[in-house]
Amino acid sequence: MSSESNAAFQTNVLKALKSGSSALCESSEITISLIEALILHSIPTPEEGAPRMIILCPDNMVSQELATSLAPFIKERDLTLDLILEKGNKVKQRNDLYDGTEIIVGTSRRVCEMYFQNGFNISKLKLFVVLQMDVQVKYGWRGFIGRIAESLPKCKQLLFMSSSSDERIESYVDEFMPIHQKISEDII
């Protein structure tokens, strides 16, 4: 994606969220600048306690790369991010979440596990992001994503990102977001 189309895509995603809408986004790549803009939209100021943003990734590698790339941005803004990985120490992860964080990045299965073990409170959640939805559906994570999405507070916004969109993904997303905007980098 060229930098001009990337900027236009990012602008359209942010417009949808600022209007209060949820979105299904079709893009071949997710840029760190888009994730940073989403963080600024959801968490304008640091505030300890319950998470305000959850980002679900398809695997440990994507989660770690995202957390590493965001680290300088997070530190600069005095925010907290907890990384929840499949092979991590469950007790330590649960305790870290219990202590409070603003952003959770992790795999769908482990975040779902931690949530249902009462590891964190989502009452202040503002944005729920699912990256690479097409890959997550292929891995069989639909149930984990669904369990979390169904228990989210009503005031939240959802953002599903996928490199491709087909009827399966669209019908699945419709279950959680009957009213949403569809944003594609191809339309830009």
Whether residue 17 is predicted with pLDDT greater than 50 in this model: the reply is yes
CB atoms within 10 A of CB 62: 18
113 compared with 6, residue with greater pLDDT: 113
For the ranges 59-68, 70-79, 95-104, 171-180, the lowest mean pLDDT is seen at: 171-180
pLDDT tens digits along 39-62: 998 888 888 788 999 999 999 999
156/91 Cα distance (integer angstroms)? 28
Residue 119 confidence (pLDDT): 66
Domain assignment present for 35: no
Whether residue 125 is predicted with pLDDT greater than 60 in this model: the reply is yes
pLDDT interval class at 69 (50, 70, 90): very high
Stretch 143-147: mean pLDDT:
90
- For residue 44 the two structure tokens come to 């304008």
- For residue 20 the two structure tokens come to 């209060």
Domain range spanning residue 135? 51-184
Whether residue 185 is predicted with pLDDT greater than 70 in this model: the reply is yes
Domain assignment present for 20: no
Domain assignment present for 25: no
Q: Helices 3-18 and 32-42, interaxial angle, to 10°?
A: 20
166/168 Cα distance (integer angstroms)? 6
Total-model pTM: 0.91
Domain assignment present for 129: yes
Q: What CATH number did the domain enclosing 119 receive?
A: 3.40.50.300
Domain assignment present for 21: no
Domain assignment present for 86: yes
112/144 Cα distance (integer angstroms)? 6
DSSP state at residue 151: T
96/110 Cα distance (integer angstroms)? 14
For the ranges 2-6, 84-88, 91-95, 176-180, the lowest mean pLDDT is seen at: 2-6
CA atoms within 13 A of residue 149's CA, in its CB half-sphere: 24
Domain assignment present for 15: no
pLDDT interval class at 155 (50, 70, 90): low
Q: How many domains does the chain have?
A: 1
Domain assignment present for 75: yes
